[in-house]
Amino acid sequence: MEKIPQQHSGNCIKIVLFGPESTGKTTLSKALAKQYEAAWVPEFAREYLQQKWDQEQKICEPKDILPIAIGQMKLENAAANSRKKLVFCDTDLLETKVYSEAYYDGWCDEQVVAAALENEYDLYVLTYIDTPWQADDLRDRPEQREEMFALFENALIKNNRPYILVKGSIEERIKRITNHLNSILN
């Protein structure tokens, strides 16, 4: 069985966009990576699960959690080794852990739990649920956005992760993140 690759430090500042689905993480992470000429790490699960849906008409199952984590870490490590000063991650393994536990009655693969708790990031950007819900093949539970948001925020608090909360328009969110990053970078 393949194992989750160990996180590479890459001597870069790593920022994770974190929160429930349909809260603007991808849009924000791409925009920030472009603004800072930084590396961008997409959410591996989106491509993996979309392919599964397209081929089998199946959604995520417990057996998918480990391959998703492995794929995510491979993408992140490639970005960390890119020699960019900043890396913006559209997700991380802590997010995978939160989803797994929410969907599978508290269960998450032991490897994923261990890696999620060992991996380190300089900042988490918690995206609030004030963006309009956008349905697609993979998203569900629009009526549970508040509950899901609480799970994500609690994971950051419980695991003592440095984070800021962003709300409002994309411009307001980018401004808040930029102001915070400027204090880190200077």
pLDDT in tens, 23-54: 999 999 999 999 999 999 999 999 998 899 89
Q: How confident is the model at residue 137 (pLDDT cuts 50, 70, 90)?
A: low
Which of 14, 153, 163, 170 lies closest to 82, judged by CA? Answer: 14
Which of the 8 DSSP states describes residue 133? P
What mean pLDDT is predicted for residues 132-148? 82
What mean pLDDT is predicted for residues 12-30? 96
Residue 185 pLDDT greater than 90, yes or no: no
Among 84-98, 99-113, 157-171, 172-186, the minimum mean pLDDT is found in 172-186
- Higher pLDDT: 83 or 13? It is 13
Among 76-90, 100-114, 131-145, 156-170, the minimum mean pLDDT is found in 131-145
Q: How confident is the model at residue 134 (pLDDT cuts 50, 70, 90)?
A: confident
Q: How confident is the model at residue 129 (pLDDT cuts 50, 70, 90)?
A: very high
Six-digit token string for 139 = 């998203």
Six-digit token string for 140 = 């569900």
* Distance separating alpha carbons of residues 94 and 157, to the nearest angstrom: 12
For 151-175, letters b (16+ CB in 10 Å) and e give ebbebbeeeebebeebeeeeeebbe
Residue 83 pLDDT greater than 90, yes or no: no
Percent of the chain residues topping a pLDDT of 70: 98
Write down the pLDDT at residue 140.
Answer: 78
Residue 156 pLDDT greater than 90, yes or no: yes
**Global pTM value:** 0.95
Residue 81 pLDDT greater than 70, yes or no: yes
